Amino acid sequence: MDSNVQLVKNVLKYTFSLVPIVAGLDKFTNLLTNWSQYISEGFANILPFEPSTFMMIVGVIEIIAGILVLTKTKIGAYVVSGWLVAIALTLIFSWSYVDVAVRDLVMAIAAFSLAKLSKNSHSKAKN
């Protein structure tokens, strides 16, 4: 694989491993932000538990997704890409934090690109 392509793949791989893990862990501490603010009022009202509990569940999923990118890059990158699209659509449908939704869609495209790079390199070298 071309060295520049390999560099880009590695940067994306470690970015989409570390960022979901850090964001997932922060769902338990709220040091970066109060994550519950991103839950729409309507959705929060139908939850059978507190929004903070829901965000902790989200945090566990994000940690698993980050580990998946690290260990099974192609599959993990598709998972992260889909996860980011789901988050963006949720924000768009509630018409709140649309700026974050746009950023999440851009990150989803980057994660999808990582998956495609990993797929193309899969036959040459294991991920």
Average confidence (pLDDT) over 95-105:
94
Calpha distance 86→16 (Å, rounded): 16
Q: What is the pLDDT of residue 41?
A: 87
The whole-model pTM stands at 0.86
SS3 content of the chain, % helix, strand, coil (to 5): 85, 0, 15
pLDDT exceeds cutoff 90 at 127: no
Residues 14, 34, 100, 59: is their CA dihedral positive or negative? positive
- Give the tens place of pLDDT for each residue, 77-90: 999 999 999 999 99
Amino acid identity for residue 72 in this structure: K
Whole-number Å distance between alpha carbons of 95 and 72: 34
Residues 10-48: pLDDT tens digits? 999 999 999 999 999 999 999 999 999 999 888 899 999
Tokens 């924000």 belong to 91
